Amino acid sequence: MIKTIIDKLYKYNCLEKEEIIYLLKNLDEKSREYLINKAYSTRLKSYGKTVFLRGLIEVTNFCTKTCLYCGIRAENTNADRYRLTKEEIISSCENGYNLGYKTFVLQGGEDPFFTDEFLVELITEIKYKFPECAVTLSLGEKSYESYKKLYDAGADRYLLRHETANPKLYSSLHPKMSFENRITCLKNLKKIGYQVGAGFLIGLPNQTIEDLAMDLLFLKNLKPHMVGIGPFIPQKDTPLRNEKGGDSYTTITLLSIIRLLLPDVLLPATTALGTIDSTGREKAFKAGANVIMPNLSPFECRAKYSLYDGKVFTDNESAEEKRKIEEKIKNAGFEPVMVRGDNITWKRI
Ligand code: 5AD
């Protein structure tokens, strides 16, 4: 039965909800290995052995939102807040460019200081200085008009995890936010023409196997170009500080199912996974992940961008970090590459 389900997933890249639930509830060591091998051959067909490197710049840890799990939530008075200036962001890009990066991911909390006007200027300047590079934004929920302005300024991609596809769980974790608006944002981003990234957290309090099945089907239905998933890791200054958090085993299993549901998707091995399992990211590549996002933020800020406890960040040079990550990728049998690495189905409109 379980082999039949995995074979169907491999061949047709789809499953019914009951089949996903059955799969998640009944995977044993052997069938999990079978699943992971199928995900591996699928990634070979779409992206070969390449792993794309993206330079991550954490531009601000100010945030107006109060997501219960997140260390930079507005109500965390212990967070040491910072925001980079336009010059600091450009200089981080420059540093990354000199190391060979062809994608810059600008990530931050929902910080009203970063107005459309500021961001348009910033993106325009980055694209002027580094025309062959892609700009990815990860700055939360905005209006259609704002997203459009940033796209027209040259932004190529936008990451906005849906966090969980169960509307009830979503509203219990995101005070004063709306699941419906989250989905509207994702649809608007797609309509505008961005390469869009969705994704969810694993191991949230009260999250069930059924919820994870909903997340997988949500992704199948949305067809994003990128998917970021990772274990929820408790952060000491948040209401969820005493919760258990997600595990590496489940995360890797889910990565392999996502690779099979969306064969062409860009799928990062996330920092959160590397935090709870020191070899988690290597395992992730074998299960279908094909992106990694080394940190390019100024060193003084890295500890402050503390979404969860124990985040792996280095205070060595970006050049040194890049070299180490490349070595890890090679040792796992993959090939680190620094091209733009667009989703193979995407063209700018
Ligand atoms: N553990 C793991 N991931 C987290 N994120 C925020 N807080 C945590 C946490 N405590 C993730 C969210 C967000 C992304 C930028 O970081 O999914 O979308």
So where are the chain's domains? Answer: 2-337
Query: Which residues, listed in sequence order, are joined to residue 198 by a DSSP beta bridge?
Result: 227
Burial class (CB in 10 A: 0-12, 13-18, 19+), 271: buried
Dist. CA 210–CA 103, nearest whole Å = 35
- Tell me the average pLDDT across 188-204: 98
**Could you tell which of 65, 232, 270 is best to mutate to test the pocket of ligand 1, judged by most ligand atoms within 8 Å of the CB?**
232
* Average pLDDT for 337-344: 94
Tokens of 249: 């085993």
Please give the number of the atom of ligand 1 that sits closest to the Cα of 235: 10
What is the spatial distance between Cα 280 and Cα 257, in angstroms, rounded to a whole number?
A: 16
User: If you measure from the C-alpha of residue 106 to the centroid of ligand 1, how many angstroms do you get, rounded to a whole number?
Assistant: 15
Q: At 52, list the tokens.
A: 């794309």
Pocket of ligand 1 (CB under 6 A): 69-70, 161, 163, 201, 230, 232-233, 235, 272, 307-308
Q: Which residues contact 298 (CB under 8 A, 6 or more apart)?
A: 84, 88, 92
Q: Is residue 347 very low, low, confident or very high in pLDDT (cuts 50, 70, 90)?
A: confident
Give tens-digit pLDDT for 75-118: 999 999 999 999 999 999 999 999 999 999 999 999 999 999 99
- Residue 70 is encoded by which pair of tokens? 């997140």
Say whether pLDDT at 305 is over 80.
yes
Mutation probe of ligand 1 site: the residue of 57, 66, 70 with most atoms within 8 A of C-beta: 70
67, 75 Cβ separation under 8 angstroms: no
How crowded is residue 181: how many other Cβ atoms within 10 Å of its Cβ?
10
In angstroms, the CA 349 to CA 276 distance is: 39
List helix spans (H) across 193-277: 209-222, 248-261, 271-276
Q: How confident is the model at residue 300 (pLDDT cuts 50, 70, 90)?
A: confident
- Nearest alpha-carbon partner for 189 in 236, 153, 148, 217: 148
Ligand 1 midpoint to CA 199 (Å): 10
Specify the pairing of strand 291-292 against strand 50-53. Answer: parallel
Average pLDDT estimate for 66-73 = 98
Angle (CA) 180 164 329, round 5°: 130
Q: Closest ligand 1 atom, CA of 159?
A: 18
Predicted structure pTM score: 0.97
Between the CA of 104 and the centroid of ligand 1 the distance, in Å, is: 19
- Cα–Cα distance between 73 and 79 in angstroms, integer? 9
pLDDT of 332 higher than 80: yes
List, for residues 312-326, the tens digit of each pLDDT value. Answer: 766 677 888 899 999
Contacts of 105 (CB under 8 A, 6+ apart): 54, 55, 56, 57, 136, 137, 138, 159, 293
Note the pLDDT of residue 183.
98
Please state which architecture CATH assigns to domain 2-337.
Alpha-Beta Barrel (3.20)
Of 110, 193, 106, 205, give the one whose Cα is nearest residue 164: 205
**Average per-residue pLDDT for the chain:** 96
Looking at ligand 1, which residue's alpha carbon is closest to its atom 2? Answer: 232
User: Residue 302 has which token pair?
Assistant: 């890295």
